[in-house]
Amino acid sequence: MRVVITGATGLIGRTLTDLLLDRGDQVVALSRDERRARECLGAGAEPHAWPRPLDEPPPQDALAGADGVVHLLGEPVAQRWTAQSKAAIRNSRVAGTRNLVDGLLALAPEQRPAVLVSQSATGYYGPCDDQPVTEDGPAGDDFLAEVVVGWEREALRAAGELRVVVTRTGVVLSPEGGALAKMLPFFRLGIGGPVAGGRQYVPWIHLDDVVGAMLFSLDNAQASGPVNLTAPNPVTNAVLSHTLGRVLKRPAVLPVPAFALKLLYGDMAEIVTTGQRVLPARLEQLGYPFRYSELEAALRDVLHHG
């Protein structure tokens, strides 16, 4: 299988590239910086430059003849939100996906990949309190929901010509990036604890299941449309905090007030102080075998605490 990956040098992209190469697939890495992609991914991947993803489609020779595309390109959400950063977050997803799809649709049918797996986010649903949410749930009306709706709309334009899966990914557990990496220094010092009361749900997922579910979506002809990439057992922020403290053998009782996060991150704090009880209904229906369905086992693996 020949698979094109955008955003291949990111955390998920690097892990997915390794998994594909390990099973004998070919990987084409689309990157703004071809040299950096080569250095980051090693000799196994075939890098192609896509220097202006917000302004133009990828080069046709990178896409033509591929079997599938995994689209991971996007500006990090976990940063202080300003008018400028919000515009960058929106444009990197909406305009970048529009240009990728334009490139795919411009190919002759016999050269066009059969499947596009386009990264999305559980931010689609907006704050949901403790109500269970599956792929049938409605979109929210906050900033992230608006971004994700536009992001998915661009990806789904290709649905008439190829199979499209939009993977609504939750909070990825990895010490190398994302929310857990930001939490670890505080918890290791014994000064971590529940955020904003801790009652909000966290739709967590182990990195191995993120890439496993993406590979499953590439391979499984029954996978299409929105697919939630979250573990089957979401937990509250309080349970996450206490479990992380137990794994690290550190106290996890110091509460973090919502106003402190607001001072630090501005409006971005809402993604931590509000919750989503998102369930992977579609993956379970399709029979995806989760490697980590329980939080403590996932954290012990990620942090190498047996």
What pLDDT score was predicted for residue 129?
83
16 assigned to some structural domain: yes
Residue 236 CA to its chain's centroid (Å): 20
Q: In the chain, which stretches have pLDDT less than 70? A: 259-261, 263-265, 269, 306
Q: Note down the domain range covering 14.
A: 2-170+205-231+279-290
246 assigned to some structural domain: no
273 assigned to some structural domain: no
Count of the separate structural domains present in the chain: 1
| Single pTM value for the model | 0.94
Cα–Cα distance between 197 and 58 in angstroms, integer? 45
88 assigned to some structural domain: yes
Burial class for 190, CB neighbours closer than 10 Å (0-12, 13-18, 19+): middle
Give Cβ neighbours of residue 229 (< 8 Å, ≥ 6 apart). Answer: 167, 168, 169, 170, 205, 209, 210, 213, 214, 280, 283
CATH number of the domain at 121, please.
Answer: 3.40.50.720
User: What would the pLDDT profile of 102-159 be if each residue is shown by its tens digit?
Assistant: 999 999 999 999 999 999 999 999 999 899 999 999 999 999 999 999 999 999 999 9
77 assigned to some structural domain: yes
129 assigned to some structural domain: yes
120 assigned to some structural domain: yes
Cα–Cα distance between 127 and 142 in angstroms, integer? 8
Q: Which of 277, 287, 181, 205 is CA-nearest to residue 235?
A: 277
What pLDDT score was predicted for residue 103?
98
What pLDDT score was predicted for residue 176?
85
85 assigned to some structural domain: yes
What pLDDT score was predicted for residue 261?
66
What pLDDT score was predicted for residue 274?
84
Residues, the chain = 306
Contact 242, 254 (CB under 8 A): no
What pLDDT score was predicted for residue 263?
64
What pLDDT score was predicted for residue 306?
61
Angle among Cα 49, 52, 57 to the nearest 5 degrees reads: 80
Cα–Cα distance between 234 and 100 in angstroms, integer? 33
What pLDDT score was predicted for residue 179?
78
Give Cβ neighbours of residue 188 (< 8 Å, ≥ 6 apart). Answer: 248, 250
What pLDDT score was predicted for residue 265?
67
